A and B are shown apart, each in its own frame.
Chain A
Amino acid sequence: QKEVEQDPGPLSVPEGAIVSLNCTYSNSAFQYFMWYRQYSRKGPELLMYTYSSGNKEDGRFTAQVDKSSKYISLFIRDSQPSDSATYLCAIGNYGQNFVFGPGTRLSVLP
């Protein structure tokens, strides 16, 4: 079993839709959860960062962590064509490097 699994997509949605992106992980000791966005032919950039459990909201983006299920989610409300990118989850613990998921490719169609 891979440490971090993520549906690679691609996922296509119409503009304005609510998008749900998910990752599962195997190591219950993980405490730090990040979502990176990567536009085509660019480096990843941090979108959301959550420590331990709970929800975090930033504008149209909400990150959720369910440690009991070892499952994290990123929700995008009112999705825009500019949200079209690959979304990578990164999960880790202090003193250890992050483990990255393979990424989900999202296309938001006008």
Chain B
Amino acid sequence: NAGVTQTPKFQVLKTGQSMTLQCAQDMNHNSMYWYRQDPGMGLRLIYYSASEGTTDKGEVPNGYNVSRLNKREFSLRLESAAPSQTSVYFCASSELRGLASDEQYFGPGTRLTVT
């Protein structure tokens, strides 16, 4: 039981390049989330998927797109990376459907640098 896995662990991009961050969970959870963590800012929600087949914007969605591929997988795409997107990205999942107030399980994070 791996929990929440993320790939890649590290990535360096040049401005304007695109990439997709992958996330998968094996806990049969309904909801999945993408956050970014910047110094002094806490975790900020980028997008979430309250159930398979649905996605919604969070607090900071600009410059990102997401796909809930199936119940297990939720990917985050940067179409044209900018230095402001340099951050640590965390994927999380929770059991209940919707923005329910249950525990979120986090992956190990992807450290992204955009030069």
Contacts and interface: CB of A to CB of B under 8 A. Distances in A.
Contact of A102 (B40, B58, B99): B40
A80 interface: no
Q: Name the residue among A31, A42, A44, A97 with the largest chain B CB count within 10 angstroms.
A: A97
Contact of A42 (B45, B48, B99, B109): B109
A101 B103 contact: no
Interface residues of B, number: 23
Interface residues of A, number: 27
B60 interface: no
B99 A97 contact: yes
Q: Specify the main secondary structure of chain A where it touches its partner.
A: loop
Contact of B41 (A32, A93, A102): A102
A41 interface: yes
A93 B102 CA distance: 10
A94 B100 contact: yes
B99 A100 contact: no
B101 A94 contact: yes
Given A94-B101, A97-B58, A97-B99, A8 B107 contact: no
B107 A43 contact: yes
Nearest to B92: A43
B103 A34 contact: yes
